[in-house]
């Protein structure tokens, strides 16, 4: 086995080395250089742990408040640092940081799993049982086996309880399932033995700290600047878009990437199960998140609750994390028909399948309502090559045949796998007509608008303007003073644009 890649992650002031290992460029293992400690050092750490527990008292409000974890960590870190200085007066700074990291991970964290949570290259962390090493899903290499092993079921159970306490929940043998949204945005799921028959299991889906932007997706060929310009045009003029795709095809990431295209003076409400969207600071955005019921079955806040409530909050734009049920879809389509601009995701692998899923059970919305959707963007994940692509862009055509509404797909653009390019498939039948009707723009004006948007997107790619707030500044300048933005672009004055 050979090293394919190596990099460093930081924890409590010291560095941990990560090595991606494999054979013939096929990654299989993820190795952390976790510090090893001698028996006397471990005895010292145990002694300090006992001392800290007796010294620090936490109020019930601190323990139950999900947002107080940072304050608790700060308390423990200060106490640990002082005790280490007392016990080992001549300790050097780097050794002290390593020992602090170990103690903090064990006392207020999830042990060695904390190192994995710091790696921005990971999307998923999975503990199956104490009999197996922890596995991770890496953004570039897929599933990998780590050298992190949790040595007892009791520890995994304890980590599950720590996660539950952080969000004011509990997990017990009587209530062995936990689905929690952490303060960091990460989503944690735990299942205790014997429901999970191998042993206690924890799955953590990490929230992106540095999310993808339109620049990234153009650079990695997920979609072209021409297609993003089309979607930008649709979003600028309040047209409704559904983003479809299979599991892990990049639906939510693509939706998030497109959010900066919304004009800055529009009120945006997002409704999600887990906070995955991250919008630029300049947008007028209120994120809403569902809540599961407590152990007594009370306190649930569903997507439907939030969707109905959002209509009373005077939104200009509504973003729905995922259409799952008939009632959600009915309220969403009602919002479209009452003049709200709506964006949502749906599990479907093509434009035709999107139509089928919407008009058949369990969603089962009346076919005539689909006229309110102006564009359907379909995402695809090629598992063999490890790439995600915009697979189809299409529209729904509703016609009446023998007194019955029939919905057919019209695919405007599609991805060609053999050459890995997105090509035009057919002309739009209704999108540009609808846009012209909404805006009063002629086709010539629409084409000119698209050219300007393509120029701006290509400029961002050329100058690597990719951070979410940097992209936001470009969009803000576009809506406030488009002529000035184009003038600055022509001069290549990136600093002035991002000031």
Q: What DSSP designation does 223 have?
A: S
Res. 67: pLDDT tops 70: no
Res. 60: pLDDT tops 60: no
Convert the pLDDT of each residue in 377-390 to its tens digit. 999 999 888 899 99
Number of C-beta neighbours around residue 339 at 10 A: 8
String of b and e for 245-260 (b: at least 16 CB within 10 Å)?
bbeebbbbbbbbbbbb
| Window from 29-33, 194-198, 208-212, 328-332 with minimum mean pLDDT | 208-212
Q: Where are the domains of the chain?
A: 2-205, 214-495
Burial of 398 by CB count in 10 Å (0-12 exposed, 13-18 middle, 19+ buried)? middle
Report percent pLDDT > 70 for the chain: 97
Mean pLDDT over residues 486-497, rounded? 94
pTM of the model: 0.82
Mean pLDDT over residues 239-259, rounded? 94
Inter-residue contact 125 to 118 (CB < 8 Å): no
> Residue 248's pLDDT band (boundaries 50, 70, 90)?
confident
Q: What DSSP designation does 298 have?
A: -
Inter-residue contact 217 to 358 (CB < 8 Å): no
> Residue 167's pLDDT band (boundaries 50, 70, 90)?
confident
> Residue 66's pLDDT band (boundaries 50, 70, 90)?
low
Instruction: Dihedral sign for Cα 366, 371, 377, 378, please.
Output: positive
Q: What strands, in cross-sheet order, belong to the sheet with 267-272?
A: 284-289, 267-272, 317-320, 341-347, 241-245, 375-382, 387-401, 404-416, 421-424
Mean pLDDT over residues 423-432, rounded? 96
> Residue 337's pLDDT band (boundaries 50, 70, 90)?
confident
Res. 228: pLDDT tops 70: yes
Region of residue 251 (phi > 0: left; psi between -120 and 50: alpha; otherwise: beta) = alpha
Mean pLDDT over residues 71-87, rounded? 82
Q: What are the start-end ranges of the H helices in 56-204?
A: 60-64, 69-87, 93-108, 113-117, 153-166
Helix (H, G, I), strand (E, B) or coil at 167: coil
| Window from 52-56, 129-133, 250-254, 364-368 with minimum mean pLDDT | 52-56
Inter-residue contact 178 to 163 (CB < 8 Å): yes
Instruction: Dihedral sign for Cα 213, 239, 310, 286, please.
Output: positive
Enclosing H/E stretch for 477: helix 468-480
Report percent pLDDT > 90 for the chain: 62
In whole angstroms, what is the distance from residue 235 CA to residue 237 CA?
5
Q: Most confidently modeled of 20-24, 185-189, 400-404, 412-416?
A: 412-416
Res. 373: pLDDT tops 60: yes
Quote the pLDDT of residue 231.
Answer: 98
For 214-495, CATH gives 3.40.50.300
Convert the pLDDT of each residue in 358-372 to its tens digit. 999 999 999 999 999
Q: What angle do CA 189, 193, 199 make, to 5 degrees?
A: 85
What is the average pLDDT score of the chain?
A: 90
Q: Which residue in 26, 22, 142 sits closest to 387, CA to CA?
A: 142
For 2-205, CATH gives 3.30.450.380
Res. 425: pLDDT tops 90: yes
Quote the pLDDT of residue 122.
Answer: 94
Quote the pLDDT of residue 90.
Answer: 85
Mean pLDDT over residues 266-294, rounded? 86
Helix (H, G, I), strand (E, B) or coil at 280: coil
Convert the pLDDT of each residue in 289-334 to its tens digit. 888 777 677 888 988 899 999 999 999 999 998 898 898 898 889 8
Quote the pLDDT of residue 247.
Answer: 86
Helix (H, G, I), strand (E, B) or coil at 348: coil
Convert the pLDDT of each residue in 155-165 to its tens digit. 999 999 988 88
> Residue 146's pLDDT band (boundaries 50, 70, 90)?
very high
Quote the pLDDT of residue 159.
Answer: 93
In whole angstroms, what is the distance from residue 341 CA to residue 316 CA?
6
Enclosing H/E stretch for 388: strand 387-401
Res. 59: pLDDT tops 80: no
Higher pLDDT pick, 182 / 326: 326
């Amino acid at each position: 086995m050979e090293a394919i890649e190596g990099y460093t992650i930081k924890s409590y002031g010291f560095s941990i080395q990560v090595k991606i290992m494999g054979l013939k460029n096929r990654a299989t293992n993820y190795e952390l250089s976790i510090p090893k400690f001698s028996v006397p050092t471990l005895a010292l750490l145990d002694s300090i742990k006992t001392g800290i527990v007796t010294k620090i008292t936490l109020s019930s409000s601190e323990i139950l408040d999900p947002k107080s974890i940072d304050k608790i960590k700060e308390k423990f870190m200060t106490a640990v640092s002082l005790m280490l200085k007392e016990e080992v007066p001549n300790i050097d700074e780097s050794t002290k940081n390593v020992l602090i990291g170990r103690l903090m991970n064990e006392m207020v964290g999830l042990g060695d799993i904390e190192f994995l949570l710091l790696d921005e290259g990971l999307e998923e962390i999975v503990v199956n049982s104490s009999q197996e090493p922890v596995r991770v899903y890496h953004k570039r290499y897929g599933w990998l086996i780590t050298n992190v092993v949790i040595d007892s079921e009791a520890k995994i159970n304890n980590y599950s309880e720590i996660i539950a306490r952080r969000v004011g929940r509990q997990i017990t043998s009587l209530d062995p399932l936990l689905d929690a949204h952490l303060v960091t945005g990460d989503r944690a799921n735990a299942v205790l033995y014997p429901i999970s028959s191998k042993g206690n299991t924890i799955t953590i889906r990490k929230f992106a700290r540095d999310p993808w932007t339109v620049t990234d997706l153009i650079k990695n060929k997920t979609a072209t600047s021409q297609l993003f310009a089309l979607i930008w045009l649709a979003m600028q003029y309040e047209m409704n878009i559904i983003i479809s795709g299979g599991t892990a095809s990049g639906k939510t990431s693509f939706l998030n990437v497109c959010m900066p295209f919304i004009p800055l003076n529009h009120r945006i409400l997002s409704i999600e199960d887990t906070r995955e969207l991250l919008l630029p600071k300049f947008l007028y955005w209120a994120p809403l998140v569902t809540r599961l019921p407590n152990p007594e079955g009370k306190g649930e806040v569903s997507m439907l609750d939030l969707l109905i409530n959002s209509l009373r909050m005077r939104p200009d734009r509504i973003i729905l994390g995922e259409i799952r049920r008939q009632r959600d879809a009915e309220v969403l389509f009602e919002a479209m028909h009452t003049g709200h601009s709506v964006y949502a995701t749906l599990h479907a692998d093509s434009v035709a399948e999107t139509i089928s899923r919407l008009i058949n059970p369990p969603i089962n919305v009346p076919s005539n309502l689909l006229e309110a959707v102006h564009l359907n963007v379909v995402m695809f994940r090629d598992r063999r090559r490890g790439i995600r692509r915009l697979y189809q862009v299409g529209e729904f055509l509703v016609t009446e045949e023998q007194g019955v509404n029939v919905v057919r797909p019209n695919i405007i653009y599609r991805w060609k796998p053999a050459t890995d390019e997105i090509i035009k498939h057919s002309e739009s039948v209704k999108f540009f007509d609808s846009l012209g009707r909404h805006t009063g723009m002629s086709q010539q004006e629409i084409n000119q608008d698209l050219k300007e948007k393509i120029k701006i997107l290509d400029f961002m790619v050329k100058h690597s303007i990719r951070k979410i707030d940097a992209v936001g500044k470009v969009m803000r300048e576009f809506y406030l003073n488009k002529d000035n933005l184009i003038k600055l672009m022509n001069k290549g004055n990136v600093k002035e644009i991002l000031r």
